[in-house]
């Protein structure tokens, strides 16, 4: 038996520590210039171990996918200090190298050491999505990039502040490489303000409780998170659960890319082995090892949501990623479409774990970020860019149907209102509604995807980075998949056309009045649709979530002309399905 800390003090300290990280988040959200941070909260803060970079404490309001990646960012800084000399009081490191710190070039990591009595006590980190970091495409979602150089500027670990002295030269380099230098300046200062606040609050906490007590709390919280994860894993039946799924293509050639995971549960240990996953590819759907690990963390946290957010979550988890796979990309492989691959990694984990723990799982969510930009020139010649991510359905789950039109599992971002989009850009939306029959059939149906159809009111050019155009979001526990992503645009000849790469395209040529239509996927279903309560099916038909035909084919429910369940036919349909 290890010694345990006074549980009351531990509960209090856990709250205080998470609180500091939350306050850091709040400071940045308030000070940031760009709406991706200020509105969509695409940022995160936390505290990390001084020698390993392991996550000690993470805030509750930050972006989910960063939570798992930030330990790698701190580790990159630790590696830097090993080569170039130890961190000093007043240093702040900065970088955006996705191969070291995970995710993509827009995410700038600031890392600052926390000292106590002249000894390194821990690190703090702040990561946030900057609006524009150069590259070929404004906003940096470039579906035809074949090297990271086309995606933006890459900054290795450097000191932004050296022993308290701010390096203007670094700032100048960053500003010179963005289309929106003012935004870069504002966001960077917001991140520095968050770190200063964190430093101050941690010093107060150490003053009050003493460094050894805080250290003991860090250790204890990790131990307990690991214990809790072990307990969760031990409750699952031992076995090997293998699942594969595919990305449509890499945007360069239309070849499916396999994502494969074997999850082995053995006692209280869990191994994820990605052997069999496609090798690194030419287009931007590669991700670095750090990003893959972050995705695993997000998937596990969605399933085991009561476990504290620290490195202990992954203590009982072994991760095997083949070095040559697209889940372990090295420079300069393009990684700008990292969101799509992360979402697919999360999906295969959901499906694999549904086999071991159906009561904790859910059907897959819509599985694509659908980054769509429409761009053109204003009458004065200046450029306009409408850039947005679109939503889709969440999976059916043990307690109910999936949420319609939700956000991606890796983010909490919201979509701008139609009226804001129409007031800022020359577009008009003809449709902004739910997509009938898109939710995966199941005892608990997947949530519905959406149909967005707009018309451009001026000459424009379009870019799309999407997925799930060929492989729909799977259901679990007998549930069926949701609908595929369908994208169409009106070409010069007035015909609705689908891109060659299905859901990815650069340089769509749109004439005035041309229509652009996106039908996003629904979520996967949960459980056998033939067991869905016929009354629920009838209600879905009445509401128009499910068509009459689908009620019959997918659910085996016949509805008569009076809008009532035809019990006899339903019985026949359902018994037939079981044979």
Partner 1 sequence: MQDIQPHILVGIDVGGTFTDVFVIDQDTGKASVHKVPSTRGKEADGFFHGLGNGAPDLRAVAAVIHGTTVGTNALLERKGARAGLITTSGFRDILEMRRRDRPTTWGLWGQYEPVIPRSMSRQVEGRILSDGREHVPFDEVGFCAAVDDLIEAGAQSVGVVFINAFANDDHENRARQLLNARWPNAHISISSELLPEIREYERASTTVLNAYLQPPVGDYLATLENRLAENNFGGEFLIVQSNGGLMRAQEAARTPVKTALSGPAAGVYASAYLARGSGFDNIITCDMGGTSFDISLVSDGEAALAAQASVDFGLVIRSPMIEITTIGAGGGSIACVDAGGIIQIGPESAGSVPGPVCYGQGNQRPTVTDANVVLGRINSDSPIGGKLESLDTDAARTAIMDEIGTPLGLDVMQAAEAIIDVANARMAGAIRLVSIERGHDPRSFAAMPFGGGGALHCCALVREINFAGALVPRFPGVVSALGCVIADMRHDFVRTVQEPVSTSDLDQLAVNIAAFEAEGRARLAQSKAQFIDIRTQISLDMLYAGQTHSVIVTLDSALATKLDRNAIKKTFETAYHQAYGQILDAVEPIIVNLRLAVIGERPKFDLSLLAPGDNLTKEDALYGYRSVVFEGKTLNAAIYDRLALPVGAVVSGPAVLEQPDATCWIEPGFLAKVDTIGNLVVTAQTTTGEAP
Site for partner 1 in 410-449 (CB under 8 A): 412-420, 422-423, 428-434, 448
CA distance 393 to 474: 12
Please, what is the minimum distance in Å from the beta carbon of residue 514 to partner 1? 16
Neighbouring C-alpha atoms within 13 Å toward the C-beta of 405: 13
In the complex, minimum distance from the CB of residue 411 to partner 1, in angstroms, rounded to a whole number: 10
In the list 251, 284, 406, 474, the residue contacting partner 1 (rule: CB under 8 A) is 406
316 binds partner 1 (CB under 8 A): no
| Paired strand residues for 128 | 43, 108
Options 77-85, 163-171, 403-411, 548-556: segment touching partner 1 (CB under 8 A): 403-411
Q: Where in 306-456 does DSSP place strands (E)?
A: 317-320, 371-377, 383-388, 427-434, 450-456
Task: By CB under 8 A, tell whether 458 contacts partner 1.
Answer: no
Q: Indicate which single residue of 404, 480, 483, 506 sits in contact with partner 1 (rule: CB under 8 A).
A: 404
Beta carbon of residue 432, minimum distance to partner 1 (angstroms, whole number): 6
Q: Segment contacting partner 1 (CB under 8 A): 76-84, 92-100, 392-400, 491-499? A: 392-400
Among 23, 54, 347, 437, binds partner 1 (CB under 8 A): 23
Compare residues 156 and 433 and give the one whose CB is closer to partner 1: 433
Q: How far is the CB of 335 from partner 1 (least distance, A)?
A: 24
Exactly one of 395, 439, 479, 525 binds partner 1 (CB under 8 A); which one? 395
3 binds partner 1 (CB under 8 A): no
What CA–CA distance (Å, rounded) separates 41 from 25? 8
What is the nearest approach in angstroms of partner 1 to the Cβ of residue 501? Answer: 24
Q: Does 147 bind partner 1 (CB under 8 A)?
A: no
- Closest of 251, 243, 314, 331 to residue 283, by C-alpha: 251
Footprint of partner 1 on 503-542 (CB under 8 A): 542
Binding mask 191-210 for partner 1 (x = CB under 8 A): ------x----------x--
- Neighbour tally for 515: CB within 10 Å: 16
Minimum distance from CB of 543 to partner 1 (Å)? 4
| Closest by CA position to 369, among listed 255, 504, 474 | 504
Stretch that binds partner 1, among 30-38, 374-382, 483-491, 551-559 (CB under 8 A): 30-38
Binders in 80-139 for partner 1, by CB under 8 A: none
Stretch that binds partner 1, among 89-97, 225-233, 271-279, 478-486 (CB under 8 A): 225-233
Least distance in angstroms from the C-beta of 93 to partner 1: 24
Judged by CB under 8 A, the residue of 109, 394, 468, 504 near partner 1 is 394
For residues 523 and 101, give the distance between their C-alpha atoms in angstroms, rounded to a whole number. Answer: 31
> Which CB sits closer to partner 1, 423 or 493?
423
564 near partner 1 (CB under 8 A): no
DSSP assignment, residue 489?
E
Q: Does residue 491 interact with partner 1 by CB under 8 A?
A: no
> Using CA atoms, how far apart are residues 191 and 230, in angstroms rounded to an integer?
35
Contact 276, 260 (CB under 8 A): yes
Helix (H) or strand (E) holding 224: helix 211-234
Binding region for partner 1 (CB under 8 A) out of 20-28, 44-52, 87-95, 322-330 = 20-28
Output b/e per residue, 22-53; b: 16+ Cβ within 10 A: bbbbbbbbebbbbebbbebbbbbbbbbbbeeb
Beta strands in 447-510 (DSSP E): 450-456, 460-465, 486-490, 496-497, 504-510
CB of 354 to partner 1, least distance (A): 13
The H-or-E segment that residue 109 falls in is strand 107-116
310 interacts with partner 1 by CB under 8 A: no
Between helix 64-84 and helix 289-303 the angle, nearest 10°, is 140
Which strands make up the sheet holding 504-510, listed edge to edge?
383-388, 371-377, 460-465, 504-510
Residue 359 found at the interface with partner 1 (CB under 8 A)? no
Q: Point out which span in 27-35, 95-103, 269-277, 566-574 binds partner 1 (CB under 8 A).
A: 27-35
Beta bridge partners of 384: 376
543 binds partner 1 (CB under 8 A): yes
In the complex with partner 1, which residue's Cβ is closer, 291 or 362? Answer: 362
Interacting positions 233-292 with partner 1 (CB under 8 A)? none
* Interface stretch with partner 1, choices 33-41, 103-111, 375-383, 565-573 (CB under 8 A): 33-41
State the minimum distance, in angstroms, from the CB of residue 64 to partner 1.
Answer: 6
Interface with partner 1 (CB under 8 A), residue from 86, 163, 165, 182? 182
Q: Which is nearer to partner 1, 282 or 412 (CB)?
A: 412
**Side-chain half-sphere CA neighbours of 171 within 13 A:** 15
| Residue 33 contacts partner 1 per CB under 8 A | yes
As a whole number of angstroms, the distance between CA 346 and CA 327 comes to 12
- H-helix segments, 405-487: 418-424
* Strand ranges, E, within 232-356: 239-247, 257-266, 269-273, 317-320
**Shortest CA distance to 440 belongs to which of 347, 575, 333?**
347
Question: x/- string (CB under 8 A) for partner 1, residues 37-56?
Answer: -xx-----------------
Q: Determine, following the binding rule CB under 8 A, whether residue 496 of this chain makes contact with partner 1.
A: no
Stretch that binds partner 1, among 154-162, 226-234, 260-268, 288-296 (CB under 8 A): 226-234
Using DSSP's 3-state secondary structure scheme, residue 542 falls into: helix
* Binds partner 1 (CB under 8 A): choice among 43, 257, 365, 551: 365
The DSSP line for 158-213 is EEEEETTEE-HHHHHHHHHT-S-HHHHHHHHHHHHHHHHHHHHHHHHHHHHH-HHH
Q: Is 14 one of the binding residues for partner 1 (CB under 8 A)?
A: yes
# residues contacting partner 1 (CB under 8 A): 82
3-state secondary structure 287-301: CCHHHHHHHHHHHHH
Among 138, 337, 391, 446, binds partner 1 (CB under 8 A): 391
Contact 395, 402 (CB under 8 A): yes
Q: Which residues of 298-321 are buried (b: 16+ CB within 10 A; e: fewer)?
A: bbbbbbbeebbbbbbbbbbbeeeb
Regarding 485 and contact with partner 1 (CB under 8 A), the answer is: no
CA diameter of the chain: 80
């Amino acid at each position: 038996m290890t010694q345990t800390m006074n549980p009351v003090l531990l509960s209090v300290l856990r709250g205080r520590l998470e609180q500091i990280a939350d306050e850091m988040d709040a400071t940045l959200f308030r000070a940031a210039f760009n709406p991706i941070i200020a509105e969509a909260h695409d940022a995160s803060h936390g505290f990390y171990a001084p020698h390993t970079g392991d996550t000690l404490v993470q805030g509750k309001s930050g972006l989910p996918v960063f939570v798992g990646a930030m330990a790698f960012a701190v580790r990159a800084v630790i590696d830097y200090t090993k080569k170039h000399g130890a961190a000093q009081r007043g240093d702040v490191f900065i970088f955006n190298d996705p191969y070291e710190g995970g995710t993509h070039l827009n995410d700038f990591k600031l890392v600052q050491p926390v000292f106590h009595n002249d000894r390194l006590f821990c690190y703090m980190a702040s990561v946030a999505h900057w609006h524009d970091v150069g590259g070929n495409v404004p906003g940096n979602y470039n579906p035809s990039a074949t090297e990271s150089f086309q995606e933006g500027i890459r900054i290795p670990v450097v000191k932004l502040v050296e022993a308290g002295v701010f390096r203007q030269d670094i700032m100048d380099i960053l500003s010179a490489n963005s289309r929106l230098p003012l935004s870069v300046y504002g966001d960077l200062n917001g991140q520095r303000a968050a770190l200063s606040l964190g430093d101050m609050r941690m010093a107060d906490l150490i003053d009050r409780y003493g460094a050894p007590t805080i250290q003991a709390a860090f250790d204890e919280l990790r131990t307990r998170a690991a214990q809790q994860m072990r307990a969760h894993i031990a409750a699952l039946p031992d076995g090997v659960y293998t699942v594969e799924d595919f990305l449509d293509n890499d945007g360069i050639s239309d070849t499916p890319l396999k994502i494969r995971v074997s999850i082995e549960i053995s006692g209280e240990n869990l191994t994820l082995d990605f052997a069999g996953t496609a090798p690194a590819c030419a287009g931007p759907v590669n991700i670095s090892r750090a990003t893959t690990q972050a995705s695993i963390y997000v998937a596990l946290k969605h399933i085991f949501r009561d476990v504290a957010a620290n490195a202990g979550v992954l203590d009982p988890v072994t991760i095997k990623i083949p070095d040559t796979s697209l889940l372990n990309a090295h420079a300069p492989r393009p990684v700008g479409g990292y969101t799509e691959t992360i979402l697919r990694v999360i999906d295969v984990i959901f499906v694999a774990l549904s086999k071991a723990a159906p009561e904790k799982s859910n059907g897959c969510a819509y599985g694509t970020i659908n980054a769509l930009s429409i761009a053109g020139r204003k009458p004065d010649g200046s450029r306009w860019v409408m850039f947005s991510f679109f939503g889709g359905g969440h999976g059916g789950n043990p307690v109910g149907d999936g949420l319609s039109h939700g956000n991606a599992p890796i983010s909490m971002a919201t979509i701008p209102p139609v009226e804001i989009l129409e007031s800022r850009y020359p577009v008009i939306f003809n449709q902004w509604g739910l997509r009938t029959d898109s939710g995966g059939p199941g005892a608990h149906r997947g949530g519905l995807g959406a149909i967005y159809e707009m018309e451009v009111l001026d000459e424009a050019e379009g870019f799309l980075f999407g997925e799930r155009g060929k492989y729909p979001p799977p259901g679990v526990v007998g549930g069926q998949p949701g609908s595929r992503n369908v994208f169409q645009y009106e070409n010069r000849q007035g015909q609705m056309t689908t891109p060659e790469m299905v859901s990815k395209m650069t340089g769509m040529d749109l004439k005035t009045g041309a229509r652009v239509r996106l039908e996003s996927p629904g979520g996967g279903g949960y459980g056998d649709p033939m067991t869905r309560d016929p009354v629920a099916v009838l209600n879905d038909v009445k509401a128009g979530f499910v068509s009459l035909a689908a009620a019959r084919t997918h659910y085996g429910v016949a509805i008569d002309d009076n809008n009532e369940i035809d019990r006899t036919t339903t019985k026949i349909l359902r018994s037939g399905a079981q044979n």
